[in-house]
Structure 1
Amino acid sequence: MYVAVKGGERAIDNAHAWLAEERRGDPSVDELSVAQICEQLSLAVNRVMAEGSLYDPDLAALAIKQARGDMIEAIFLIRAYRTTLPRFGYSSPVETANMACDRRISATFKDAPGGQVLGPTFDYTHRLLDFALAAEGDTPEAAEGIARHEPTPHITEFLNQEGLIQTEEDTDKTPGDLTREPLELPANRALRLQSLSRGDEGFVLGMAYSTQRGYARNHAFVGELRIGKVDVEMEIPELGFSIDIGEIELTECETVNQFTGSKTEPPQFTRGYGLVFGQSERKSISMALVDRALRWKELGEDNLGAPAQDEEFVLYHSDNIQATGFLEHIKLPHYVDFQSELELIRKLRREAMGEMKEAAE
């Protein structure tokens, strides 16, 4: 037993060394720096921060490098590191209406109050490989215009002036914290939004797409999509007031959904909501669509049996770290379990063959 254990350790050490060699790649090629990942692969960094529940671009970039570009492995590394950090307190809710928007669009109003700001987006690019990017060292031309840095009100608030959109519940109740307490069902909306924000982008996208194809009767308009930086404040009891501790980049999406009314609610527009770290439009829109689908009970709608309306199915399967752990554990040794299964199958085959032989005679 002692020799087997030592042999296993030696094999694992060799696997780690081989992994490090593969991570580095060809030594004749310059090593990729954390700063390069942070600056030039920012969307990947944003995803790792969002699903890892830790806003730190440098650490997210380091995790991507360590994971050889495996996003889920990088997210796992960030979540694991996050658990080692002390908690000094809670920040105040951020005011996204005060966001300095780099991008702000609406699919509901052409002349949106406050103006449309296209910002940095792939929406209008041709999906053709740009071989000019293979020429290293090229510097792109600076964009014309002045970045917006003044507060911009939410477009849905203009709809609310006519009473056409559902008023969100205003509560001072402190929401639960999924990073410290396990998810329990049924979950309130605050916990559902936390879970979706941390959820795997591909899974949440698939659920959102299903609602658009008819699984949840969820026809939505993007009331507003905005990307920008917001100040983060924290109240200091000794001072008696809050102080600015930094700023973070966020993507926020509010969808507007037609609602014909129910036994408890009048006809009006309802909202879906998405908010994630960094620039992550696809995730925030997907999150808003799934959020709206999960609100069927509180709005008095019928449950159509759609997957996106099933709270347990969505929330328990959206976490890619939990899913990865359960899936990948089957790679580990299961020798004893398999031997018992093997003996069972052999026994069943002997019995079945015996019955077949008796029937033939």
Structure 2
Amino acid sequence: MYVAVKGGERAIDAAHDWLGRAHRGAPDQPALDTAQIRDQMALAVARVMAEGSLYDPDLAALAIKQARGDLIEAIFLIRAYRTTLPRLGASDPVQTGAMRVKRRISGTFKDIPGGQVLGPTFDYTHRLLDFRLMADGELPETSPAAADCQPLPAPHVLDFLNRDGLIEDAADDGNAPGDLTREPMELPAARALRLQALARGDEGFLLGLAYSTQRGYARNHAFVGELRIGHVDVEMQVPELGFSIQLGEIELTECETVNQFKGSRTEPAQFTRGYGLTLGQTERKALSMALVDRALRWQELGEDDQGAPAQDAEFVLSHCDNIQATGFLEHIKLPHYVDFQAELELVRRLRADIPHAGAPDAGKEDAA
């Protein structure tokens, strides 16, 4: 056993060395700088921050570089680092209504106060490879109109529906939300905990669930009431001072959906909400989160359970975390020699009790 362990250690050390060489790539090429990753791969950085539950673009860029571009591995690195940080306090709720938006669109109203701001998005681009990026690595010069655009504060679009009583009230229930980073999930989970889990959940998993709701698995026909991306101030109460101080600002993506609702025995006919809020520019994730959030609310709205995957809170919340999923999935790559040998011996004993089970061609000879 000792020899096997030592041999395994040497193999692991060699694998680490090989990983280091593979990580660097061709030595005649310049090394990739974390500042380049942070600025030029901003959407990957945003996903790592959102699912890693830590807003720090520099550390997210470092994690992506260390993980060779494997975003789930980078998220794992960020979460592991996050556990080493002290908890000094809790910030005040951020005021997204005062967000300095750089992108703000609505699929429900054409004319909104402050106007629609398309912002930096692939939505209106042709999905064609731009070989100029391969040739010289530079995009065409930015137009003056785009360069001079400054983030502006804008009110929430759904407030107009709320004032007329046409959409459910978004008032807080007054209960302090739990913290999934410090306490394990318990089911049934309140909406605040569900939203936390979805915000940390895997983008691809949530995208698939959200798509399923649009195809009829939960009958979740949604309109984008508003999708906004921008910066908000983060403030914290200081008891010694008696007021809040600003700690800094972070970039957020917020999505509110408007959903059809015919009413129930307890609720009048009105529109209902789905909500998504994530770190960085992660609009596909925020939109998926909003659709899944709405699907999970079927019980509190008095709707029927259709048995759709997106309606099953235990299924969604227990499987949306990509770090938990990765750990359970990849553990089967580790040695399971003893377990397999036991099952192999069992199969051999079972086959020994069946005539001709051990001879693949015995049946052909008997037939002849």
Residue 234 of structure 1 corresponds to which residue in structure 2?
236
* Aligned-partner Cα distance in 2 for 1:356–1:231: 71
AA partner of residue 249 (structure 1): E
Q: Deviations over 1:51-85 (max 9, x none)?
A: 00000000000000000000100000000000000
In angstroms, what is the RMSD of aligned CA positions?
Answer: 1.5
AA partner of residue 288 (structure 1): A
1:131 partnered with 2:131: yes
* Aligned-partner Cα distance in 2 for 1:96–1:140: 33
Residue 13 of structure 1 corresponds to which residue in structure 2?
13
* Aligned-partner Cα distance in 2 for 1:356–1:288: 56
TM-score, normalised with respect to structure 2:
0.95
Residue 23 of structure 2 corresponds to which residue in structure 1?
23
> Is the 2:46–2:282 Cα contact (8 Å) retained in structure 1?
yes
Q: Displacement of 1:12 after TM fit?
A: 0.5
* Aligned-partner Cα distance in 1 for 2:149–2:274: 28
> Is the 2:352–2:358 Cα contact (8 Å) retained in structure 1?
no
AA partner of residue 280 (structure 1): T
Match of 1:261 among 260, 263, 278: 263
Residue 45 of structure 1 corresponds to which residue in structure 2?
45
Residue 181 of structure 1 corresponds to which residue in structure 2?
183
**Matched ranges for 1:52-91 at <5 A:** 52-91=52-91
**Matched ranges for 1:178-327 at <5 A:** 178-327=180-329
Q: Displacement of 1:161 after TM fit?
A: 1.4
Residue 341 of structure 1 corresponds to which residue in structure 2?
343
AA partner of residue 31 (structure 2): E
* Aligned-partner Cα distance in 1 for 2:124–2:183: 42
AA partner of residue 182 (structure 2): R
Call closer, same or farther: CA 1:298–1:280 in 2, change over 3 Å.
same
* Aligned-partner Cα distance in 1 for 2:358–2:139: 77
Call closer, same or farther: CA 1:356–1:93 in 2, change over 3 Å.
closer
* Aligned-partner Cα distance in 2 for 1:354–1:25: 55
* Aligned-partner Cα distance in 1 for 2:355–2:258: 64
Residue 96 of structure 1 corresponds to which residue in structure 2?
96
* Aligned-partner Cα distance in 1 for 2:108–2:345: 64
Q: Deviations over 1:214-259 (max 9, x none)?
A: 0000000000000000000011111111100000000000000010
* Aligned-partner Cα distance in 1 for 2:338–2:278: 44
Q: Secondary structure at the match of 1:181?
A: coil
AA partner of residue 85 (structure 1): L
Call closer, same or farther: CA 1:198–1:355 in 2, change over 3 Å.
closer
Match of 1:172 among 158, 166, 174: 174
> Is the 2:133–2:139 Cα contact (8 Å) retained in structure 1?
no
Q: Secondary structure at the match of 1:111?
A: coil
* Aligned-partner Cα distance in 2 for 1:82–1:294: 29
* Aligned-partner Cα distance in 1 for 2:312–2:171: 22
Q: Deviations over 1:331-356 (max 9, x none)?
A: 00001100110011001101122799
Call closer, same or farther: CA 1:11–1:50 in 2, change over 3 Å.
same
Residue 151 of structure 2 corresponds to which residue in structure 1?
149
Q: Secondary structure at the match of 1:268?
A: coil
AA partner of residue 13 (structure 1): D
Q: Displacement of 1:112 after TM fit?
A: 1.6
AA partner of residue 55 (structure 1): Y
Q: Deviations over 1:20-41 (max 9, x none)?
A: 1001010001110100000000
AA partner of residue 162 (structure 2): N
AA partner of residue 121 (structure 1): T
Residue 362 of structure 2 corresponds to which residue in structure 1?
none
Q: Displacement of 1:151 after TM fit?
A: 2.2
* Aligned-partner Cα distance in 1 for 2:276–2:317: 15
> Is the 2:63–2:77 Cα contact (8 Å) retained in structure 1?
yes
TM-score, normalised with respect to structure 1:
0.97
Q: Secondary structure at the match of 1:176?
A: coil
* Aligned-partner Cα distance in 1 for 2:192–2:68: 34
AA partner of residue 248 (structure 2): G
Call closer, same or farther: CA 1:60–1:114 in 2, change over 3 Å.
same
AA partner of residue 124 (structure 1): Y
AA partner of residue 163 (structure 2): Q
* Aligned-partner Cα distance in 2 for 1:270–1:85: 38
Q: Displacement of 1:139 after TM fit?
A: 5.4
* Aligned-partner Cα distance in 2 for 1:5–1:179: 34
* Aligned-partner Cα distance in 1 for 2:67–2:103: 31
Unaligned runs of 5+ in 1: none
